[in-house]
Amino acid sequence: MAQDTKNKNKDSSSKTIRVEIIESIPSSFFIQDLEKIDTSKITTKDLEYQLKIITSLNSDEKLIKIDLELDAYLLKKGKSEEESLFGIKSHTIFRTPDFNKIVGKDEKLSAPDDFIRKLLNICIGGIRGMLSTKLTITELSNVTLPLLDLSSIKEVKEHKK
């Protein structure tokens, strides 16, 4: 029985990936001139969002950086406008002592999908709060970033620096 417990602990520790958030900050924010738009009628349902995700690694310091770029497009007659109404960029840096578990010898991210989705959820939660703070002082203070379904993300491409 003691041997079984030992094996279970060894299995769970080999699957565990420890991570800490080093930094999570907005790197830019913009909003179009709202005087041209009747903002009193805009709700979250009137917006379509585009999210760009860029990851990079720093092997020496065991860091993972995730940059998000979120743009919101106003929908008119079911189609989104070509120019975004507002947008925000953020970057989040994670450190992990388990770096070798998630990065292969080829220096590419090889973490399980669940792990990457968890990091993305942390980043998106952060950008949701950052966006809320930025929009609070505008006519779009009632707009919030909806929950995003990350199950459709098949692959996160890594950007080498």
Residue labelled with tokens 């220096």: 107
Show pLDDT as tens, one digit a residue, over the chain (161 residues): 555 555 554 445 567 889 999 999 999 999 998 888 888 888 888 999 999 999 999 999 999 999 999 999 999 877 788 899 999 999 999 999 999 888 888 888 888 888 888 999 999 999 999 999 999 999 999 898 888 877 766 555 544 44
- Domains observed in the chain: 19-152 (3.10.420.10)
How far are the Cα atoms of 4, 90, 154, 157, 160 from residue 54, in angstroms, in the given order?
Answer: 41, 11, 14, 7, 10
> 14 CB contacts (<8 Å, ≥6 apart)?
101
pLDDT for position 9 = 47
